[in-house]
Chain A
Amino acid sequence: MKVSLKWLKDYVDLVAPAQEIARLLTSSGTEVGAIEYVGGRDWSDIYVGQITNLAPHPNADRLQLVTVDYGKKELTVVAGAFNIKVGDRVPLALPGARVIDTHGPEPREVVLKASKLRGVMSEGMLCSARELGISDDHGGILVLDPEARVGAGLGEVLGDIVFDLEVTPNRPDLLSMIGVAREIAALTGQELRVPVVTLEDGPTAVKDLIDIEIADPDLCHRYSATVIEGVRVGPSPGWMQERLIAAGMRPINNIVDVTNYVMLEWGQPLHGFDYDKIGGKKIVVRRAREGEEIETLDGVVRKLTSDMLVIADARHPVAIAGVMGGADSEVSDATTNVLLESANFDRVVNRRASRALRLPSEASRRFEKGLPEELTMPAALRATQLIHQLAGGAVARGVADAYPVKPPPVEIKLTTREVQRLLGVSYSVEEIERILKPLGFVTRAQGGDIDVVVPMHRGDVTLPADLVEEVARTVGYDAIPSTMLDGRLPVPSENLELRWQEVVRDVLVGCGFTEIIAYSLISRERMRKLVPSEEAGEKLLSLADPILTAINTRISVLGQQPLLVVNPLTSDMECLRTTTLVSMLETIGRNLRFMDKDVNLFEICRVYLPRGEDLPEERRIITAGMGQYRSGGEWGEKREVSFFDLKAAAEAILQRMGIATFSFVPVAHPTFHAGRTAAIVFGVDMPRLAREGVRAIAPDKVVGILGEINPDVRASFDLDERVYVLAMDFDSLMQAAVWTREYRPLPKFPPVEQDIAVVSSVDIPAELVKATISRAGGELVKSVDLFDVYQGPGIPEGKRSIAYHIVYQAPDRTLTDEEVSKVQKHIEDVLEKELRATLRR
């Protein structure tokens, strides 16, 4: 809402500087978003001139010669506009004045010079609102208030301060000058002045001219109308145009301008009909018939639906209630009799209609917030008076007023105790009354209680808490003390999910990964890029491999319908992601464009797995990714990473979460490299897996996938280097996580250390070899650490040598050589027997 302070002075004395008034409004809930100084532009050398003569230009039909008196002398000016007449007061710019040149592609400020136009010297220029930099209106020369003093500087006449108020949706009363004035009056201790209306009754009675019927009283709560006969439609006076322009509205003609002016003044939208176009002299307010059509003011024929409300005459709609008038009944230059509508429409029906028709307007902006029924009358009278004053004619006696149900005023009992209870500071009955009365509340004190009657313009106030806000915002929130909370605290309960999430975050940061947060919205097209071919997609969905199925159910879900956005912003953000891999690969790709190493990223976020009509499952996923290179030990050196670098990060997470038993099982997932990918499974160790195969894996124990990205998938993300990605189901990990740790005493007796190299088939997983050594070694084997893997000359084809460093130790004695060789012999036998592995000598 744009509020001209110059206009506002009609209703309240502004006793404080504009800055201070802005501060008071802002602090009490209506933010002054901007303070605009109209005429803050340099208007020196622009004066109020009066037109004394108009003559045709000798050489050009489109121009005329205007004689202007600006007090000091008369000048002749060449003008290209014809909206002026002798006697009009207009802005006259003299050579040296700064005006806006609107002829170029971009408006720019120029210094005016006297110049010849088609052979005639122009000694100055008459300006439009646009040339003055006031508004975009270039409809013609700005005609000023007839009261403007001839010879006055333009700044004196037009200079104004305009507040741009950010009115909150609960305060439609502040979408009016009177409402804002009331607020300022209350905040500054001044009186509100409301315009007094006196009407000269004409010969006809309005009830003989129009009959009003509200067919749907649930949607139209009141309809008030007046008729003004014999008006002359023409431009409205300069003062009114200036005010409308200051408020951001465009002057049209005196009738429409009055309806807009009074809407701005009172907050009540009004509509003027050409009375003679109202068939049957009857107004029916009713629901539109399905498919009924109306051509609106903007010349568009609109199809209506039965949940819209129309104003109809005896036959057809003449307006969409509170949204837009019809073209047929529009007030035009030929109109002589005006029917003025001041009605109250249901806010919901108005909001729906203006949205459905995409016709937001100043009127529907007010209606949709809910206006008081009582407002129609003062606005109708005020507008009738102004039309009569500006367009002449005779006012028909009375107001045609259909008002089915007058709502009772809202009464609230407020106690000083309630004010104290909510604010933490007490105010006396007198203080509270002193605050509420200027805002329009009627109060009656009874001991510590105050009976408050809410004024019609404050439909937002219904509860004691609302009145408490009135008190608080008027004294100013800064005047209320600050205290710390006391009283009982809730029973503490730790948020384990967040704690574990932070643990994982710290592990990954410690491993050199940088956290990313990517958009939850994605597109099916983008997710499809994770599946290189249709066959691969089918395989993924075939349920043949229980591990794959588990991954595709919980960890990176592909090929399933995601939740769709009903109103997407862009087509690549049309659904909620069911996999985190797309964002990871895309983000790695973007960063690889300017970093040749150390693109190590992680994200802890949710995927959204649909559950039919219910809210989706929001499962937390840990995702980590690595580009092909990492910093080496030396400056500038880069080292190629492998599957095992990322595996270390996965192991670090599992260890930090206290999960002891887990395995990495080869898996063929279409997004990943067929030979370099593992499912992370817990609760099952390698020997059992070797014995029982994948049957040993319960689907709910599959907690992640880790591997190199399939080269074809990589290509579809424009990644030209190897990329490794890990995705883990955080929620499952958390279920298994163990916070406590168990202490084991430090060894008291020296260890015996030994290295062995085991030659076995390449098909036997290293993990199984290690597990076999541990098991065969029994309690004396403290640790088995791999230190070398070798394949090549000296080792038979199809086999490899894996070297382990074994530490033997007993808690109660120093081991003898015999003991150790006995154990070692046993290890050798078991390796031989179970894995057909031999020691390399």
Chain B
Amino acid sequence: MIDRITELREQALAELRALGRVEEIEPWRIKYLGKKGAVTSILRQLGALPPDERRAVGQVANETKTLLEAQLAQKENELKEAARAQAMERERIDVTLPGRPLALGQVHPTTRVLREILDAFVIMGFQIVEGPEVEWDYYNFEALNIPKDHPARDMWDTFYVSPDGRPGEMLLRTHTSPNQVRVMEKTRPPVRVVVPGKCYRYEAIDPSHESMFYQVEGLAIGTNITFADMKGTLSAFARMLFGGERKVRFRCDYFPFVEPGVDMSIDCYVCKGAGCRLCGNTGWLEIMGAGMVHPKELERVGYDPAVYTGFAFGLGPERIAMLKYGIDDIRLFYSNDLRFLQQFR
């Protein structure tokens, strides 16, 4: 009897090994393990055997059943896996084909850089405010220590506007600095604001000059704000935008509404300070003007210059973008050619 079982087992296993398709599994199962299958019928015959033989044969038969069941499950898995693999192979695609077109939008490169600039200052506790683009001569010049007929007015070529085309007191702001005065008029210290916005200059347009551009103005006023704080804040900003390894240079410069006045540069990332075409052989790239707010300006808005000090700064996002992305023509910004705009996804 045991020999028969052994023979049966070997036969079943050999047949199982030979199976090649999932569909062949079930007939095999019925043949050996089904209700009327060979193994099942042996088990059914056990009752007819003498008790001592029954135990031995029963053990072998049960082991055989268990073995065949396990082998069956394994084989079934193998075949299913192979079938699945085959099916997927039939569905193979060329993954190097291009993505299906999806209309992608993007913000303007100026917006992109503005966001970066503003984020950097917001992190340092500055709040964002805005002001009018059409300004009074008073805010754009006079309140910034630039009276009429002052030679410093030559630093800003100005578009004047009026309802009837005759010259008056209205102009297109030449910088965002009028907002220093507007903000201080409205609030009391401490002040920490940044003011982004469009500015205009009466300027013939060429690769490095635009008649419309953006500026970001900044102002910090408090009881204990020093030149050293200005250096620290603006250096931190420069490193946030241009990378921690950038060197920052501060040099004296003149703006009528600050004293001392500052011009801030970063070391040229192309030549690393050795001098090249980008930096005009100076090794430095100017990125903003700044300075300690002029005492007269503080006085004018009713801040006691003996109590309060502060600094102001102004920078151009287009210039920052040009430096960051290597753009060589400022006219590209506002001519809105998609071939340009879409490079800044």
Q: Which residues of chain A have a CB within 8 Å of any CB of chain B?
A: 26-29, 31, 168-171, 347-348, 351-352, 368-369, 421-425, 463, 465-466, 468-469, 472-473, 477-478, 480-490, 492-493, 495, 497-498, 505, 508-521, 561, 563-569, 573, 576, 587, 590-591, 594-595, 598-602, 606, 608, 610, 612-613, 615-616, 618, 630-635, 637
Contact = CB atoms under 8 A, between A and B. Distances in A.
Contact of B260 (A468, A606, A633): A468
Contact of A565 (B133, B160, B250, B337): B160
B125 A483 contact: no
Which are the 5 A-B pairs with shortest beta-carbon distances? Answer: A424-B226, A424-B228, A512-B103, A29-B252, A469-B260
Contacts of A612: 163
Contact of B106 (A26, A509, A519): A509
Given A465-B259, A520-B133, A567 B211 contact: no
A472 B226 CA distance: 12
B127 A493 contact: yes
Given A169-B152, A465-B292, A615-B134, A482 B228 contact: yes
For A484, A490, A612, the residue with the greatest tally of chain B CB atoms inside 10 Å of its CB is A490
Interface stretch (B33-41, B48-56, B185-193): B185-193
For B97, B124, B163, B236, the residue with the greatest tally of chain A CB atoms inside 10 Å of its CB is B163
Nearest to A593: B337
Interface string B214-234: 000000101111111101110
Contacts of B162: 563-564, 566
B47 interface: no
A515 B107 contact: yes
A482 B82 CA distance: 69
B222 A495 contact: no
B231 A480 contact: yes
A576 B134 contact: yes
B98 interface: yes
Nearest to B198: A520
Contact of A423 (B152, B155, B228): B228
B170 A615 contact: yes
Contacts of B111: 505, 515, 517
Contacts, number: 262
Contact of B105 (A26, A480, A515, A576): A515
Nearest to A564: B165
Contact of A424 (B227, B251, B333): B227
Nearest to A494: B127
B207 to A, nearest CB: 16
B103 A563 contact: no
A713 to B, nearest CB: 20
Contacts of A480: 227-228, 231, 250
Nearest to A645: B103
Given A514-B341, A519-B211, 12 more contacts: A27-B252, A29-B254, A171-B254, A480-B227, A484-B236, A517-B108, A520-B172, A521-B200, A564-B163, A566-B159, A616-B134, A630-B103
B104 interface: yes
B227 A591 contact: no
Interface residues of B, number: 93
B336 A590 contact: yes
A216 to B, nearest CB: 17
Interface string B148-174: 011110110001111111111010100
B136 interface: yes
B187 A634 contact: no
Interface string B310-345: 000000000000000000000001111111011000
Interface in B192-214: 192, 198, 200, 202-205, 211-212
Contacts of A512: 102-105
Interface string B122-145: 001101111011111000000000
Given A510-B105, A615-B134, A477 B251 contact: yes
A504 to B, nearest CB: 11
A567 B159 contact: yes
Nearest to A33: B280
Contacts of B337: 590-591
B190 to A, nearest CB: 5
Contacts of B168: 566
B273 interface: no
A573 B192 contact: no
Contacts of B151: 169, 347, 351, 368-369
A606 B196 CA distance: 14
Contacts of B97: 635
Contact of B133 (A369, A618, A637): A618
16 contacts: A27-B249, A483-B229, A486-B224, A488-B190, A488-B223, A489-B192, A490-B127, A515-B341, A517-B110, A517-B334, A563-B134, A563-B163, A563-B170, A598-B103, A631-B102, A632-B101
A297 B135 CA distance: 41
Contacts of A468: 259-260
A11 B259 CA distance: 30
A349 B228 CA distance: 40
A512 B128 CA distance: 28
Contacts of A423: 226-228
Given A369-B151, A515-B107, A569-B204, A27 B251 contact: yes
A635 B98 contact: yes
For B129, B132, B161, the residue with the greatest tally of chain A CB atoms inside 10 Å of its CB is B161
B100 interface: yes
Contacts of A493: 127
A564 B227 contact: no
B251 A483 contact: no
Interface string B245-277: 000011111101001111000000000000000
